[in-house]
Structure 1
């Protein structure tokens, strides 16, 4: 068996559909099928079966998957060591990031990194902390910028920065134009536009619960631009991290929260030093250097 067969099988196990797995590897679906069939023939066992909901691993497939992943991790580690000897990072790095990080931090980092290391191909995935952490653990991502500390004990983490949350309101809101910090207790009866999992809303839920109420959610969305535009249309208010609050496109300046009671810590996570290729290590160093230069 060869590396391409192992990568085909692990991609299919991860994506659970031939079309998505083939796309992730940059090969055709027939090529992916042939690679998996060749591997099954060498092992003398069926590894996957098609089902209405997608691809399902057989018992043999479940047992072989961890061995295939360890073998590929060992190959990648060897490639990393040879790459370091060559002195020039190369290859592919898969980076995950929270939506606000992807929108407001990564553009200058990625642009500078690409200029410094043109032989490295970067792939950026956007998502929420729990999802990104799980992908790092499974080896689907090399690095991820998530809320710190991570919930998983299977990743290594490096703290990057801490930032407060601010209150964003519509132009005709009673608090529009206020420069005075606002207490969260004053927002109990407001309608909110939220991104699921944001630390600000978790604090708001606690305050509402203490008053025997629940936050009134007007809209949930995963799109940052949608949050801003919905607020400005008058749908509701939102607690946004400082990165987003500094966006010059707000029609009304966001308002500080009294006492700094809402904040988030941000860090970068990976599986461990043994899994860091030269390219991955170079990207992590670039992220850390950028954060220090910006004094987050």
Structure 2
């Protein structure tokens, strides 16, 4: 059996749906199904059953799951040892990231990394911080860029930057015409475009709960670019990180600062240097150094240079 088969099985076991798992692995759903069928053929038994509610592990799948995790960890550790001997980073690196980071920061970093390390193939997946954290802990992700805090004590987190959350509003919106920052509590009754679970959405929900109102949701999506386009077309307003609002004038929406508004801290997370392949270490170093060298067009406060194990 192959690492691709094991990754496919572990990702489906984690996500519970083939479509979500396929996106996380950068595969088509048919490609993921072939990996699973091949693994089941190797083992001579069914590991998963599709139901209307998603993919469910069979009894054999439940028994095989911890062995698959240990097997993948052992294979990755062996690969890392060989890469240390060769001294040349190569192979696949799985990087999980927040939606906004994947859309608005990594396009400034990954192409340059690919030029410097042509034998390394990054595999990018986007998701919410809790799912990314679990992916790192279970070994389906080598690295993840997510918002703090990290809840698991067995992971290492290196803070990259801190930034404010601001309002993205349609061009010429009444809040823009005010010409001054507003408090989040003053705008909770606007129509909102949100990503469920995103830091901005959590801040909005907390403010609405404190004021005893229900947020008016014009649209829920799982795509950062969809938020931007919907705001540009006047569907509603959105609470987004300053990173997403870089070059907002050319993107077609206005930004409104918040008075004492919420902030988010973003960190690079992994299981420890001993678990990283040479390729993963190269990508980790490149991301940290690239962010440190960037100007601060969105008002970000850059993090430190060394990782710390979360407690």
Match of 2:259 in 1: 258
Deviations 1:205-257 (A, max 9, x none): 33332322122212112222322222232222111110111133343431111
Match of 2:307 in 1: none
Match of 1:197 in 2: 197
Change (3 A) 1:24 1:285: farther
Change (3 A) 1:7 1:119: closer
Change (3 A) 1:52 1:293: same
Match of 2:47 in 1: 48
TM (normalized to structure 1)?
A: 0.84
Change (3 A) 1:173 1:110: same
Change (3 A) 1:251 1:107: closer
8 Å CA contact retained: 1:169, 1:232: yes
Change (3 A) 1:49 1:74: closer
Match of 1:164 in 2: 164
Superposed counterparts of 1:226-265, under 5 Å: 226-248=226-248, 249-259=250-260, 261-265=261-265
How far is 1:119 from its partner?
A: 0.6
How far is 1:130 from its partner?
A: 1.6
SS at structure 2 position matched to 1:68: helix
Match of 1:43 in 2: none
**Structure 1 unaligned residues grouped into runs of 5+:** 41-45
- Does residue 186 of the first structure (1) align with residue 190 of the second (2)? no
Q: Quick one: which of 8, 15, 35 aligns to 1:11?
A: 8
Aligned counterparts of 1:230 and 1:30: Cα–Cα separation in 2: 36
Match of 1:37 in 2: 41
Aligned counterparts of 2:32 and 2:146: Cα–Cα separation in 1: 33
Deviations 1:101-137 (A, max 9, x none): 0111111211111111111111111111122222222
**Structure 2 unaligned residues grouped into runs of 5+:** 301-311
SS at structure 1 position matched to 2:130: helix
Q: Aligned residues, how many?
A: 286
Superposed counterparts of 1:206-217, under 5 Å: 206-217=206-217
Deviations 1:122-157 (A, max 9, x none): 111111112222222222211111111223334321
8 Å CA contact retained: 1:170, 1:234: yes
Match of 1:220 in 2: 220
TM (normalized to structure 2)?
A: 0.80
Larger radius of gyration: 1
8 Å CA contact retained: 1:166, 1:257: yes
8 Å CA contact retained: 2:98, 2:126: yes
8 Å CA contact retained: 2:8, 2:35: no
Change (3 A) 1:258 1:26: same
Please give the root-mean-square deviation of Cα atoms over the aligned residues, in Å. Answer: 3.0
